[in-house]
Amino acid sequence: MNDGPLIVQSDKTLLLEVDHVDAAECRKQIAPFAELERSPEHVHTYRLTALGLWNARAAGHDAEQVVDVLLSFSRYPVPHALLVDLADTMARYGRLRLDKHPTHRLILVTTDRPVLEEVLRSKRVAPMLGTRIDDETVAVHPSQRGPLKQALLKLGWPAADTAGYVDGERHDIALVEHGWTLRPYQHEAVESFWHGGSGVVVLPCGAGKTLVGAAAMARASATTLILVTSTVAARQWRDELLRRTSLTDAEIGEYTGAKKQVRPVTIATYQVVTTRRKGAYTHLELFDARDWGLVVYDEVHLLPAPVFRMTADLQARRRLGLTATLVREDGREGDVFSLIGPKRYDAPWRDIEQQGWIAPADCVEVRVTLSEGERLAYATAEPQDRYRLAAATATKTSVVQDIVERHRGEPTLVIGQYLDQLDELGERLGAPVVTGQTTVRERQRLFEAFRTGEVDLLVVSKVANFSVDLPEASIAVQVSGAFGSRQEEAQRLGRLLRPKRDGRGARFYAVVTRDTVDADFAQHRQRFLAEQGYAYRIVDSDDLPAADR
């Protein structure tokens, strides 16, 4: 027995003692293969999952490395059965391989014939396969490349896709590094993606995922389709590409609600691509509009189901997913793995912070108490109404005013879910409000005013969660959110992590109503950030220290 910070249990849970001197290093080492489940004050619970282990395997971590990490940090002997199961699980990845064939074009090959025999007998898989070529090989129709990978993953035999990619229509793209250069981790991310062919790059908000996308485009030098979350994000991508690459305005098309341009580099929103008319997705032909050499999925954790279906037909194209977190609240991480590709690169947030590339952040949970009348209303409300009552309580308004006043003059975002709550806060704070009802032009104007310092306080809805670049924001006050969404919490903190010109840190306040579902959801929301090493200080609204008021 040693004095390690980790307890490894036979049910595949890992218990990490947060206050241990080696806890931070242990968290960093287990992050590539373990998922955080619970993060109370002293002991965090992680779990080993098949998908997590397969992602680690695809990213270049082998079972021996994973076992070594567990043995090195575990306080007690690691259960032998768990180590055997871990090695067996990781060994399942790649026993089936999709590859090219001179005659049959696409084949499924195995290094373990009984595995192939097993999947051949699956009612779901069998119709996707063609002629049996030999004992280890069976033909696959190219159109089934994506659906087959999905089906094999569900059977527990994830296939390694080594069938390669078409080059697509060539289009010269070069990085223009005047006064800047790719950071070391950005270069590593591009190389890891290119070596793997397709997959996901996971980097913190503010760490320059757009530059990774631009560098991948330069590496491909081919026509590129970029899918983004909003029109504002599309225009930010366009501006960044014009600044950082050799592309001209005439080479970049915008495919949004306002414009329908298809050019060598086309930036489209998920919303427009998934718009249905009379039951048909009328814009999905965009995927076939050109011979794309690269498809980039920004904020890939938000990928809508129709785009998954179309992506299944794009397996011969290189695909790059960009995200700050692979967490999907709908549980479709397996589809990202199958159809976009496995995780190719993942940089822990704290590592990037320590290198000075993102701002350090202090997270504070401020707990408020419902008034007597609000408590009675909450107690008698229907279950589906309780979160709104707790999250949008008027009690939060005065607390938000206190926090904003304390940080008067600092670039501050007040973030929430409910429009009536945001409108009231905007009126009480004398601040502009940005929601989905705000026109794109007005959003852009207000965001630009915030960037330049003309405006130092904005009240924003979820429209600012993703792909909105507000680098000088240093204070965020969250009053309500999408229930227990971990990825939303990460994205909202991410609004603050762009490095500041004066080197200052950031502060993220989550105002939470105690003894309600608001507090329960808050604990769930904080899980991903706890996994990245961010600890929330919990203070009562009546006991905020002077420095925080």
List Cα–Cα distances, 202 to 61, 127, 390, in angstroms: 16, 35, 33
Report the C-alpha gap between 344 and 98 in whole angstroms: 18
| Token duo for residue 227 | 């899918």
pLDDT in tens, 347-405: 777 778 888 888 888 888 899 999 999 999 999 999 889 989 988 898 899 999 999 99
Identity of the residue numbered 508: F
- The gap from C-alpha 251 to its chain's centroid, in whole angstroms, comes to 28
Strands (E) across 54-206 are located at 96-101, 105-110, 129-134, 137-140, 160-161, 199-202
Tell me what pLDDT residue 420 has. 92
Burial label for 420, CB within 10 Å (0-12, 13-18, 19+), is exposed
Report the C-alpha gap between 86 and 95 in whole angstroms: 16
Report the C-alpha gap between 1 and 60 in whole angstroms: 30
CATH of 359-548, one of 3.40.50.1820, 3.40.50.150, 3.30.70.420, 3.40.50.300: 3.40.50.300
DSSP string, 50-87: HHHHHHHHHTT--HHHHHHHHHHHBSSPPPHHHHHHHH
Judge whether 125 and 119 are in contact, CB under 8 Å.
yes
Give me the residues paired with residue 225 across strands: 266, 295
By C-alpha distance, which of 198, 126, 113 is closest to 155? 126
By C-alpha distance, which of 395, 368, 327 is closest to 510? 368
Give me the residues paired with residue 266 across strands: 225, 253
pLDDT in tens, 173-209: 999 988 889 999 999 999 999 998 899 998 887 888 9
Burial label for 40, CB within 10 Å (0-12, 13-18, 19+), is exposed
DSSP state of 32: T
By C-alpha distance, which of 344, 289, 331, 281 is closest to 309? 281
Tell me what pLDDT residue 4 has. 93
Report the C-alpha gap between 72 and 418 in whole angstroms: 47
Tell me what pLDDT residue 329 has. 63
Judge whether 300 and 293 are in contact, CB under 8 Å.
no
Tell me what pLDDT residue 547 has. 44
Ramachandran category for residue 79: left, alpha or beta (phi over 0 → left; psi -120 to 50 → alpha):
beta
Beta-carbon contacts of 219 under 8 Å, excluding residues fewer than 6 positions away, are 190, 194
Tell me what pLDDT residue 467 has. 54
Beta-carbon contacts of 509 under 8 Å, excluding residues fewer than 6 positions away, are 364, 365, 366, 403, 475, 476, 477, 478
DSSP string, 198-246: SEEEE--TTS-HHHHHHHHHHHHTB-EEEEES-HHHHHHHHHHHHHHBS
By C-alpha distance, which of 493, 521, 512, 502 is closest to 413? 493
pLDDT values of the chain reduced to their tens digit, one per residue, 549 residues: 578 999 999 999 999 998 999 998 998 899 889 987 776 768 888 999 999 999 899 888 999 999 999 999 999 999 999 999 999 999 999 999 999 988 878 999 999 999 999 999 999 999 999 999 999 999 998 889 999 999 999 999 999 999 989 899 999 999 998 888 999 999 999 999 999 889 999 888 788 899 999 999 999 999 999 999 888 889 989 999 999 999 999 999 999 888 899 999 999 998 888 887 777 777 777 887 889 999 999 988 777 777 877 787 788 899 999 988 776 666 778 888 888 988 898 877 777 888 888 888 888 889 999 999 999 999 999 988 998 998 889 889 999 999 999 999 888 999 988 899 999 999 999 999 998 888 888 988 998 898 888 999 999 988 776 656 676 788 889 898 875 576 677 777 777 777 777 777 888 898 999 999 888 888 877 876 776 777 788 888 887 654 444
Judge whether 473 and 411 are in contact, CB under 8 Å.
yes
Give me the residues paired with residue 276 across strands: 281
Q: What is the pTM of this model?
A: 0.79
By C-alpha distance, which of 499, 513, 502, 510 is closest to 535? 510
Tell me what pLDDT residue 491 has. 74
- 340: how many CB neighbours lie within 10 A of its CB? 24
User: Could you tell me the residue ranges of all domains in the chain?
Assistant: 6-92, 96-161, 184-352, 359-548
Identity of the residue numbered 39: S
Which CATH fold would you assign to the domain 184-352?
Answer: Rossmann fold (3.40.50)
Tell me what pLDDT residue 232 has. 84
- 180: how many CB neighbours lie within 10 A of its CB? 12
Q: Which residue has the tokens 């026993």?
A: 95
- Do the domains 184-352 and 359-548 sit in the same CATH topology, yes or no? yes
- Provide the angle, in degrees to the nearest 10, between the axes of the packed helices 383-391 and 372-380: 160
DSSP state of 471: T
